[in-house]
Structure 1
């Protein structure tokens, strides 16, 4: 932070205050000698500043022995060009309650509030960009393991280049989804353009902040296509993790220039030398090229951009030609309720401007461009785009089905070669999705289409369930991917989905050699000879795990329990163990990562890639209610787990079924056999209560009538899986997962 505008001391307490004005907003930061105390954000309302938030915090006293608690409240007043801040605080010595307690008031007059460097105007931005030659372009991506500081480093680079003003509010600037900010992880790769002045010249720098979790690797791979280099970020306290290794090899295979960066060097647990040794040993990168930074404090971040300019090459002129006809590739797209579809494109050849008529090569669709511009970090409209830029285009339509990621865009009437597309997503996890309210189907499908536009990794098709009605079969790249998608639908569109248990696609071989991929348990063949099944193969992954050496035994045991096959085991010089094993995908999605963390006290990391199929002894496990199959609850399990899973599922389902006037029988069935049974006894009604004890004939008649009535009711309940009662039970059963 800059030198404070005001300093205030009372007793042992010393406060430093700084105010920054942004339009009609004033941000005041209060600090003590070593910590941020409070951030008071206020808005101009009838010439008064209205308090937005008050912070409460703990810190140690100056003598280090007293535990202190301070509560700050603040009011701000704006009169003309001056601002007054009134801060009241109460200090408590918690080790000796009732002593050393006082109030203090700070009046903070500012005759002229600090004005930060204004954000560049659209005209000035375009003038600077248009004067930058292709050889001064640098396109790079930041890749790392989860929570190693990619988004925080992006924030510091945006501040350093003047894209955003440096304030304490700059946290995850590029994480624009609500779910990203809540979970603290990056889900969507985001691009931002920066202009950096270096050695007398302007440089156009395109930064891509990528997800770190393996479920979103497809986002990373797509982003690599428009980059020539990558920052390989490593946490100084954690060192190299599984996804660091995986991201390195992907970037290396795509011939990207790699710059190693060690982050979080300000932590007490940071071991910089150990991290350097890991980078040098594992990736064979020169130790002299490593930059040591703290993205949180900004320490040494200013050395990164010069390193990027000097090390990462510009877009190759043999592939990027500004004099050729337009040829651009769609990298990403999303939906805006006001302007419709927005595309993020990599302009390879030529130029593109507002009013141009463009054509999508794969579909032949023709549209007039409504707006073009760069992400800075939000949309900034420009007169035109040129070769080498990664920018946005608004084509002027709202139908999400008209655009495909990886498609090539050209000008109408020109003949250009199609650019190589992206790898098609291969779903690893499938779930059934049904609207919580059946009448919401059409509106829900519209919301899903908007999300599919922004996440082309999702594969879907319509389906129908006897218990839950119309819905969709959705394919995802992993369990976290499915969870994030559901959460985005709820938060961004206000829609509620009922999600069935996740399953994986199985390859079934029938007599005659016919093969079929089945991802819906309801379609899975029965285990009898009449089905004509020759072989069933389940998908597998090649998992890469890193963990401290002392946990080698527990991890090996965990893999064995989950039907894993060890493939390779390496003991690194830094005390870490690197293990590769073949693991069934069904076991991976059954919270294998959580079990791995538990076995290693949270120190393990995991990455995986598709390993194809392997023959397996699996079967369909169904739940029956009074003989009626509840299709939404069917699942595929290994035969060694049938009895255990069947018993658990039957015991859970009975909790959500109500007592009837007849016995409700819940059964778990596999391979034509009943493996578990639970019974909800009938509600008893005493039909003999009003009879005289001596009237035996009447007694027998009433009991026989009651028995026949219950029998008829129970016979009618064979279709209970089709009733509202069963549907509600299914929803409750699935929700607890």
Structure 2
């Protein structure tokens, strides 16, 4: 009898999660249910995030200066490679959130695989401060996943917004994901601001794309922004439009807490970091909260905004978006779309939550049996960082 390697049966709740596993082949794992060969280096890259995301308390930020009417929560949606992450970088530069140099490309793409492949995988957020008409505004940019397989994550990210920028490539025009993302935003009742990107390309046809947008989506294109996110042309027109056209959040700070979780990741030092939008009420350090889905209880040990890294503020109130660290030890407890509330003040969960279901199954084992322990270690780290992956070990003889 010959002993064979132990198989790891990885179950993913989103198609995209298994896509990431083999970054050397595009989407070959879409519909697999068979063993595949995988090496340690490919898998270990899945859990790598920028270690620069540690909390930064050097910045003094007083969130009480930003009532709900001075807050705008918005996202950028687009087809793959239409310039969404590049535009996000330019807006961060424009508001002074980051410096204007090439060291900060794809600031909101934290995962190694996101930077390598140019596709946003995890929803991210960044708070920006912007002065307009002698008023100071807090602008929360919620970056959405950039591939069609992440539709649920996109919809939950959009649920944290009141408006969105619909970015369209001036040479390619409207594509499949442009349409899909538009209707996700439309179904959430968001204000949609169309923007045409890459107007500096030799193949740009902005007039044709304007007509496409008007006829397909029936959007007002009378003052549509024509920009080049790469060079910065026209980008300065976007934030004033966001402030003027997107409504402020409608939450009430005096109501019981309702916090909406739309992203999370695992940090080696503090455990799970949750990204939440405060719909109603106020959440502060020391508060005891409960998950509406799992009914598990947690205590808030740190809270703040992403600017673009973690900056402790001590609290978040209605309309604001930021990170919450609450002694959550495993990412599997952070359910995208879940509602959190104060233990003593239970509330009705926010609508739209769907427990994630496994849709893709893969059996993996190392080609070299000597690498089994390294594979075991990397898979364990993957499950810590990604709540959508479950693992079962199997043996065969």
Contact kept, 8 Å, 1:344 with 1:392, in 2: the verdict is yes
Question: Which residue in 1 is equivalent to 2:59?
Answer: 122
Partner of 2:386, secondary structure, is: helix
With structure 1 as the length reference, what TM-score do the two structures score?
0.44
1:308 aligns with 2:239: no
Partner of 2:89, secondary structure, is: helix
1:283 positional shift: 1.2
1:409 aligns with 2:346: no
Partner of 1:180, secondary structure, is: helix
- Residues 577-635 of structure 1 show CA distances to partners (whole Å, capped at 9, x for unaligned) of xxxxxxxxxxxxxxxxxxxxxxxxxxxxxxxxxxxxxxxxxxxxxxxxxxxxxxxxxxx
1:336 aligns with 2:267: yes
Partner of 1:419, secondary structure, is: coil
CA pair 239-449 structure 1, distance change in 2 beyond 3 A: same
Question: Which residue in 2 is equivalent to 1:253?
Answer: 187
Q: CA RMSD in A?
A: 2.1
- Of 149, 173, 179, 2:83 maps to 149
Question: Which residue in 1 is equivalent to 2:349?
Answer: 418
Contact kept, 8 Å, 2:264 with 2:331, in 1: the verdict is no
Question: Which residue in 2 is equivalent to 1:555?
Answer: none
Which 10-residue stretch deviates more, 155-164 or 425-434?
425-434
Contact kept, 8 Å, 1:326 with 1:411, in 2: the verdict is yes
1:281 aligns with 2:215: yes
Matches within 5 A, 1:681-700: none
1:181 aligns with 2:115: yes
CA separation in 1, counterparts of 2:307 and 2:366? 38
1:394 aligns with 2:325: yes
Contact kept, 8 Å, 1:407 with 1:421, in 2: the verdict is no
1:270 positional shift: 0.8
Question: Which residue in 2 is equivalent to 1:347?
Answer: 278
Matches within 5 A, 1:145-224: 145-224=79-158
Question: Which residue in 2 is equivalent to 1:325?
Answer: 256
CA separation in 1, counterparts of 2:206 and 2:182? 19
Partner of 2:294, secondary structure, is: coil
Contact kept, 8 Å, 1:236 with 1:275, in 2: the verdict is yes
Question: Which residue in 2 is equivalent to 1:377?
Answer: 308
- Of 240, 262, 272, 2:196 maps to 262
| Rg comparison, structure with higher value | 1
1:463 positional shift: 5.5
CA pair 238-442 structure 1, distance change in 2 beyond 3 A: closer
CA separation in 1, counterparts of 2:348 and 2:366? 43
Contact kept, 8 Å, 2:332 with 2:386, in 1: the verdict is no
Question: Which residue in 2 is equivalent to 1:78?
Answer: none
CA separation in 1, counterparts of 2:74 and 2:283? 22
1:237 positional shift: 1.2
CA pair 155-361 structure 1, distance change in 2 beyond 3 A: same
CA pair 350-420 structure 1, distance change in 2 beyond 3 A: same
CA separation in 2, counterparts of 1:273 and 1:293? 13
1:464 aligns with 2:387: no
Partner of 2:165, secondary structure, is: strand
- Residues 208-237 of structure 1 show CA distances to partners (whole Å, capped at 9, x for unaligned) of 222322122222111011011111101111
Question: Which residue in 1 is equivalent to 2:292?
Answer: 361
1:439 positional shift: 4.8
- Of 232, 240, 253, 2:174 maps to 240
1:423 positional shift: 3.0
Question: Which residue in 1 is equivalent to 2:14?
Answer: none
- Residues 128-149 of structure 1 show CA distances to partners (whole Å, capped at 9, x for unaligned) of x321110121111100111000
Partner of 1:288, secondary structure, is: coil
- Residues 266-318 of structure 1 show CA distances to partners (whole Å, capped at 9, x for unaligned) of 111111111111111211112213110110111111100010111111112xx
CA pair 351-235 structure 1, distance change in 2 beyond 3 A: same
CA separation in 1, counterparts of 2:289 and 2:256? 12
CA separation in 2, counterparts of 1:254 and 1:411? 26
CA separation in 2, counterparts of 1:363 and 1:221? 21
CA pair 400-180 structure 1, distance change in 2 beyond 3 A: closer
1:421 positional shift: 4.6
Contact kept, 8 Å, 1:230 with 1:256, in 2: the verdict is yes
Matches within 5 A, 1:227-626: 227-316=161-250, 320-434=251-365, 437=369, 438-439=372-373, 443-453=377-387, 456=388, 458=389, 460=390, 462=392, 464=394, 466=396
With structure 2 as the length reference, what TM-score do the two structures score?
0.80
1:263 positional shift: 0.3
Q: Which protein has greater RCO, CA pairs closer than 8 Å, 6+ apart?
A: 2
Partner of 1:221, secondary structure, is: helix
CA separation in 1, counterparts of 2:352 and 2:190? 18
Contact kept, 8 Å, 1:139 with 1:314, in 2: the verdict is yes
1:183 positional shift: 1.3
1:150 positional shift: 0.3
1:121 positional shift: 5.4
1:254 positional shift: 1.5
Partner of 1:430, secondary structure, is: strand
- Residues 126-177 of structure 1 show CA distances to partners (whole Å, capped at 9, x for unaligned) of 22x3211101211111001110000110011001111111123231111111
Matches within 5 A, 1:61-72: none
CA pair 445-149 structure 1, distance change in 2 beyond 3 A: closer
Contact kept, 8 Å, 2:305 with 2:321, in 1: the verdict is yes
- Residues 15-38 of structure 1 show CA distances to partners (whole Å, capped at 9, x for unaligned) of xxxxxxxxxxxxxxxxxxxxxxxx
CA separation in 2, counterparts of 1:361 and 1:403? 11
Structure 1: where are the runs of 5+ without partners? 1-118, 467-721, 723-737
Alignment coverage as a number of residue pairs: 339
CA separation in 2, counterparts of 1:335 and 1:259? 34
